[in-house]
Amino acid sequence: MNKLDNKNAEMAPESRMTRRTFLKTGGRLFAGMLILPIPAYGYARYAEPRWVQTNKVPLTFDRLPEAMSGMRLLQFSDVHLGPYYSPDALIQLVERINNLNPDLVCFTGDLYDSAIFSEKDVIEALSGVKAAYGKFAVLGNHDYIDSAVQVSKLWKASGFQLLKNNAFKITKDRESIIVAGVDDFVKGRPDLAKALNRADPSVFTLLLSHAPDFADTASRYPVDLQLSGHSHGGQVRLPWIGPIVTPLGAKKYVDGLYKLKEGKFFLYANRGIGVSLHPVRFCCRPELTLFELHRSSAGE
């Protein structure tokens, strides 16, 4: 599996997804779908993309403050509002999120698939997300296709704290955690050193990065948990083969929980909500992830 060039990971590469690369990637995904029989394709096109799965993931950390133990952290990602995901569907998703009673909500990039539309409706829907300790978001590569500036304004208008190479402190009973976020790896300029410049390295730190492969950089910093999206879990996974294709920035870490630094650093790659390139999912359901964070006895 390919690794990031750590020397250049702090400043995102100048590479861009060209039309040729886009068509090649989409072609590989489409070719993989041709392997499926017609009934399976019908399921992948019309059923699985709407069948959202809620994954509950308990995690234990030595550095988590006692005051934060038991915190419910909800991650959603890669909505890809566009021809295959509407603002009405987003309203239903927000209702589902609120029914899980999260304390903290994090979005890890790609709100729109390409063109920005129905901003008023989207702001109204996202404003309805409820979380006692805050709502946070970072940009993804698709957020740059139309206007990253406009997407950023939309998040702020929705009551979310947009993190772009900066950090935010959450405090309860005089104990704190840090929520940091970096710019997109593919089309932005992620700078984790800048994000953590004023952060206390002894404090539990949650990092939001759209690209999961950024974990190879984050593992060199005092980060405890990184949440990412981008991969869609491969979007189409074939039995005994796995994902047909994953994008730049999600070649190494594709789906689910990874333990790095001898279990001192966790990465979670969320499969996302929407679809891109082709409106299909197979063996790769859309996902909401609900983490329950606990302080380990070793941290007492």
Which residue has 């491969």 as its token pair? 234
What's residue 5's pLDDT?
34
43-81 pLDDT tens trace: 999 999 999 999 999 999 999 999 999 999 999 999 999
Distance CA 163, CA 11 (A): 16
| Distances in whole angstroms, Cα of residue 231 to Cα of each of 211, 244, 271, 298 | 8, 11, 6, 34
Residues 277-292 pLDDT 10s: 889 999 999 999 999 9
- Would you say the pTM of this structure is higher than 0.85? yes
Cβ atoms 193, 10 nearer than 8 A? yes
pLDDT given at position 12: 37
- For the chain, the distance separating the N- and C-terminal CA atoms, rounded to the nearest angstrom, is 38
Q: CA-based angle 71:75:80, to the nearest 5?
A: 165
